[in-house]
A and B are shown apart, each in its own frame.
Chain A
Amino acid sequence: DAKTTQPPSMDCAEGRAANLPCNHSTISGNEYVYWYRQIHSQGPQYIIHGLKNNETNEMASLIITEDRKSSTLILPHATLRDTAVYYCIVSMNYGGSQGNLIFGKGTKLSVKP
């Protein structure tokens, strides 16, 4: 079962920042927070991941609380092409059964003009 809780849906105006929350209160010390998204009819796409520190890449920023029990994915300037289901996943970052990604229901983000 997924170890994260996300709101089922969110709306965001085009050009504004989209802030997607995720709760992972049972995360263990060696588990990372991963974010993926799935645009309609496509395969999931890796966005970003982090352990303790905040992370930023060309797609998004990841803010992890100090107690690591929750995080927020930030898309700084959402576009219509960012409409997708966003998945927050906690996992050890190595393969095998412990490193497998377990997807929950995710948050359906709708970016509106």
Chain B
Amino acid sequence: DTAVSQTPKYLVTQMGNDKSIKCEQNLGHDTMYWYKQDSKKFLKIMFSYNNKELIINETVPNRFSPKSPDKAHLNLHINSLELGDSAVYFCASSQTKGAGGYTFGSGTRLTVV
């Protein structure tokens, strides 16, 4: 069973569109994250979220918004897509307290044309 699953794996869309990427984890973790990996391969955190706190990286445009219907899901909504949004987006989860690391999904490659 996939621990952290993202859909879709690939997404090609036109500038100006609104799109969503879904993420689900079956690990019972209480914190989830979204990371962006650009063409230079730098991984940057965008959001971290648990049921108490949403932490937003201040460099993330407000066109990006996380939505969490429950503890096991953290979806990423992107409005008015721009060419510069093209990247690979990774979802991850972790347990807030305790040992162990993050578990990452396999990524969603977003291409804006």
> Which of B45, B97, B100, B104 is in CB contact (< 8 Å) with A100?
B45
A21 close to chain B: CB less than 8 A: no
Q: A100-B33, A103-B42 are in contact. Are A46 and B102 (CB under 8 A)?
A: yes
B30 close to chain A: CB less than 8 A: yes
Residues of A within 8 A of B75 (CB): none
**A-binding segment of B12-20, B48-56, B59-67, B78-86:** B48-56
B111 close to chain A: CB less than 8 A: no
A69 close to chain B: CB less than 8 A: no
A100 to B107, CA, bound (A): 18
Please state if A34 and B101 are interface contacts (CB–CB under 8 Å): yes
12 residue pairs from A and B, CB less than 8 Å apart: A36-B101, A43-B104, A94-B96, A94-B97, A95-B30, A95-B31, A95-B48, A96-B48, A96-B55, A97-B55, A99-B48, A101-B45
Residues of A within 8 A of B55 (CB): 96-97, 100
Residues of A within 8 A of B92 (CB): 43-44
A105 close to chain B: CB less than 8 A: yes
Q: How many A-B residue pairs have CB under 8 A?
A: 64
A85 close to chain B: CB less than 8 A: yes
Residues of B within 8 A of A105 (CB): 42
**What's the minimum C-beta distance from B102 to chain A, rounded to whole angstroms?**
6
B94 close to chain A: CB less than 8 A: yes
A34 to B101, CA, bound (A): 8
Nearest chain-A residue to B48 (Cβ)? A100
A93 to B98, CA, bound (A): 7
Residues of B within 8 A of A44 (CB): 43, 90, 92, 102, 104
A64-87 vs B, Cβ < 8 Å mask (1 yes, 0 no): 000000000000000000000101
For residues 28 through 50 of chain A, which have their beta carbon under 8 Å from a beta carbon of chain B? 34, 36, 38, 41-47, 49
